[in-house]
Amino acid sequence: MIGVNPERVEFYNLSAAQGPRWAEICTEFTEKIITMGPSPIWFALQKKKQSAETEKQFA
Amino acid sequence: MIIGEQKPFDEIWEMVKDHKQLLVFGCNTCVAVCHQGGNKEAEILASLLRMRATQEEIDIDIINGGIERQCEHPFFESAKDLLDKSEAVLSLACGIGVQFVAEKYMNTPVYPALNTTFLGDVKADGLYTEKCQACGDCVLGVTGGVCPVSRCCKRIFNGPCGGSSNGKCEISKDLDCAWQLVVDRLEALGKMDDYEKLAPVKDWSKDRAGGPRSFKLEDF
């Protein structure tokens, strides 16, 4: 839909009493995201930023 | 209430991608209840559009906002500045709201983010079912409070038809036969005599057959 790998999003349904499980999920997901690397949107934003800086230098 | 469903994202994107500036505008009443067009959904949709624009390296200034109802003038006061400066509006209201915005802002393109689907209820969390077709001549008083116009697939007024089986409609085994529901309800009310009365031919001129309808309170 927006060009982002669906693997980058996960939904969980937890109660307020499941703090340890929440921490576990966060750790697992952080590891997963690190393995996957930056998202395509991050790359697109970097590119945009760079071209804006180049334009500024030439202005 | 009015139920709507968000259009496929690609269809929305195709409508708006050529604008330089866009307001994604929520309607926080009916279509917010079905989680499709409220101010929260406007925020999410605006965010998705920004991500798509970034990916495709297209510069669009996408802002989001919303009001309680896009079908009444007084509610627009709080969003006047936002709308005045917008090049285009993506409305998350039902078809009524989209047209209302379009009428108010003659020179601003207004696009629908939703398909307005039906008038219905909230049967359970996340489940909405059609209950009324605004036919303009309500018969619920004699059908035990079950609408044959919106709930019978054939809109039969003296049902059921031969397709009713074990309380289900021939269209789908998951669909209740409206006339079975009418009978069950009349039985529960002890009003089966009403079932025996032949319904007269319905006056469809009060429905859409008579053209777009309006209603004016003379003392206003």
* One domain, residues B112 and B9: yes
Q: Cβ of B48 under 8 Å from any chain A Cβ?
A: yes
Question: Under an 8 A CB cutoff, do B57 and A3 touch?
Answer: no
Render the burial of B64-97: b for 16+ CB within 10 Å, e for the rest: bbbbebbbeeebbeebeebbeebebbbbbbbebb
Mean pLDDT of B72-97: 97
pLDDT the model gives residue B16: 98
pLDDT the model gives residue B208: 86
Contact B66, B79 (CB under 8 A): yes
Determine the Cα–Cα distance for residues B17 and B134; give it in Å rounded to an integer: 36
Mean pLDDT of B139-157: 95
Question: Under an 8 A CB cutoff, do B55 and A45 touch?
Answer: no
Q: What distance in Å separates residue B131's CA from the closest CA in chain A? A: 31
Question: Under an 8 A CB cutoff, do A41 and B10 touch?
Answer: no
pLDDT the model gives residue A38: 92
**A59 has pLDDT over 80:** no
Chain A residue whose CA is closest to B47 = A2
Within-domain flag for A26: yes
Chain A residue whose CA is closest to B54 = A44
* One domain, residues B43 and B87: yes
Residue numbers in A near B52 (CB within 8 A): 1-3
Regarding beta strands B127-132 and B110-112, do their DSSP bridges make them parallel or antiparallel, or are they unpaired?
A: unpaired
Question: Under an 8 A CB cutoff, do B54 and A4 touch?
Answer: no
Number of domains within chain B: 2
Within-domain flag for B219: no
Residue numbers in B near A55 (CB within 8 A): none
pLDDT the model gives residue B36: 98
Within-domain flag for B215: no
**A1 has pLDDT over 80:** no
Q: What distance in Å separates residue A46's CA from the closest CA in chain B? A: 10
Within-domain flag for B220: no
> In the A/B pair of chains, how many CB contacts fall below 8 A?
24
pLDDT the model gives residue A2: 79
Within-domain flag for A1: no
Within-domain flag for A50: yes
Within-domain flag for B52: yes
Q: pLDDT band for position B129 (50/70/90)?
A: very high
Q: pLDDT tens-digit profile of B11-42?
A: 999 999 999 999 999 999 999 999 999 999 99
**A27 has pLDDT over 80:** yes
**B109 has pLDDT over 80:** yes
Residue numbers in B near A1 (CB within 8 A): 9-10, 48, 52
**A55 has pLDDT over 90:** no
Percent of chain A at pLDDT > 70 equals 100
**A3 has pLDDT over 90:** no
Determine the Cα–Cα distance for residues B88 and B21; give it in Å rounded to an integer: 7
Range with lowest mean pLDDT among A25-29, B33-37, B118-122, B207-211: B207-211
Within-domain flag for A21: yes
Q: Cβ of B44 under 8 Å from any chain A Cβ?
A: no
Within-domain flag for B194: yes
| Domain membership of residue B68 as a residue range | 2-118
Residue numbers in B near A2 (CB within 8 A): 9, 48, 51-52, 55
Within-domain flag for A25: yes
Residue closest to B202 by CA, chosen among B105, B133, B128, B109: B133
Q: Is the ipTM of this complex over 0.85?
A: no
B60: left (phi over 0), alpha (psi -120 to 50) or beta: beta
pTM summary value: 0.88
pLDDT the model gives residue B177: 98
| Domain membership of residue A49 as a residue range | 6-58
Question: Under an 8 A CB cutoff, do B55 and A1 touch?
Answer: no
pLDDT the model gives residue A48: 86
